[in-house]
Amino acid sequence: MRTNTLAAVETLQESEEAKAPRARWSPARRLASSLFRRYSWLPPAASLISFVVLGAALAIELNLSYKFAAATAVAVTSFVWGYWMQAVRRRLFPPLAHLHRRQYAATWDLLAGSPEEACAAVAGCKNDEAELRASAAVTVRNLMELACIRGSDQVLEVGCGVGRIGREIATHCSTWTGADMSMKMLGHASARLCGIANVHLARLHSVGLSEFENNSFDVVYFTNMLMHLDEMDRWQYVEEALRVLRPDGRIFMDIIDIESDAGWIMFRHDAGRYKHLERPPYMPRFSTAAELTVYLERAGFEKIQTHRRSPLVIVTAVKSCMNKQQTVSAP
Ligand SMILES: C[S@@+](CC[C@H](N)C(=O)[O-])C[C@H]1O[C@@H](n2cnc3c(N)ncnc32)[C@H](O)[C@@H]1O
């Protein structure tokens, strides 16, 4: 979502420099935006007052410069009012204030009501196949390089959405399984991916991977999804990934890196934007390589590596050959 952010991550990775000039404008825009959100009556009231003043200036035949000033005020306040109305109408994502963060299935079902909404939620793009596929390019490159996906691999994506990444990865591996808690997302994925023989979809009924057997995948990856989860649920998925991976299997996780400059700009932007607003349950939560590394170490993964791909940090690891069953070392 340009989960909100959601989705902007790939664009950001490619055009961080292009974003820098915009950041310079953000304090003024943030101020205007928070003012208008707090006092939503302000633009129409200012317009009304300037209309009354203009009417009075015309009625009592004030000199020309007063009339001109009043007319200018009408033009400016009407423009601001119109701009404000448009900005409010353009809001893509519902606030879902009645849901809390851990109501994942309900939240994402509501965000994926139609294919258009689902595409906006996973990639911030239109329901356009070419655009959706192009939006996957950076992540697919990262996965191929860092999870070393091979033709014989059985691959699991947790939080697969509409199969944006899976459609590309399926062409490079033996089987690709997409798992998600949202039935709506899985419905759109099924429509998009039907006819691709090595694709499987699975509904997750709760946090965890209880639907899958021990030692059943060569690669498990989480992309563009851990940032929407509560921290303890992130841990639970790491623990479960260890169980379902075969010995020597690889895990890949990405998250928005609050330690990167671009990640910090996004965090500050969200903090300003939502200062006086209810924070939606799908709003991304930023993190660090250290957090993900702790989970991987504690779960018993080996060869843990951090890859900085601003604004993301990617952490990869391998399930040890010795680790035939899930083992969680006590802290
Ligand atoms: C922003 S979308 C990303 C989808 C996909 N990974 C991509 O990059 O196109 C996040 C996905 O995670 C799923 N999701 C959210 N919380 C989840 C959870 N606790 N367990 C499994 N999937 C979850 C949502 O339904 C949604 O499909």
Task: Give residue-wise pLDDT tens across range 99-143.
Answer: 999 999 999 999 999 999 999 999 999 899 999 999 999 999 999
- The number of C-alpha atoms within 13 Å of 78 and in the hemisphere containing its C-beta is 10
115 CB contacts (<8 Å, ≥6 apart)? 127, 162, 188, 191
Where is 293: in which H helix or E strand?
helix 289-299
- Residue 31: predicted pLDDT: 72
Distance 228 CA to ligand 1 centre (A): 8
Ligand 1 within 6 A of 238 CB? no
What pLDDT was estimated at residue 331? 43
What per-residue confidence (pLDDT) applies to 12?
45
225 alpha carbon to ligand 1 midpoint, in Å? Answer: 5
Average pLDDT over residues 319-323: 85
The residue-averaged pLDDT of 261-279 equals 93
Q: Is the dihedral of CA 67, 69, 73, 79 positive or negative?
A: positive
Amino acid 34: pLDDT: 67
Residues of the chain with CATH 3.40.50.150: 104-319
pLDDT of residue 161: 98
C-alpha 237 to ligand 1 mean position (Å): 13
Ligand 1 within 6 A of CB of 117:
no
Average pLDDT value for residue range 184-204: 97
In ligand 1, the atom with minimum distance to the C-alpha of 139 is: 8
Cα–Cα separations (whole angstroms), residue 195 to 47, 130, 178, 179: 57, 18, 15, 18
Highest mean pLDDT range out of 13-22, 91-100, 278-287, 322-331?
278-287
Residue 311 carries which side chain, given as an amino acid letter?
Answer: P
pTM assigned to the model: 0.77
Ligand 1 atom closest to Cα of residue 161: 27
| C-alpha to C-alpha distances, 52 to 27, 49, 320, nearest whole angstrom | 32, 5, 76
182 lines ligand 1 (CB under 6 A): yes
Query: CATH assignment of 104-319?
Result: 3.40.50.150
Rounded distance, CA 96 to CA 79, Å? 30
Q: Is the shortest distance between the CB of 222 and ligand 1 below 6 Å?
A: no
Residues 77-84 have a mean pLDDT of: 80
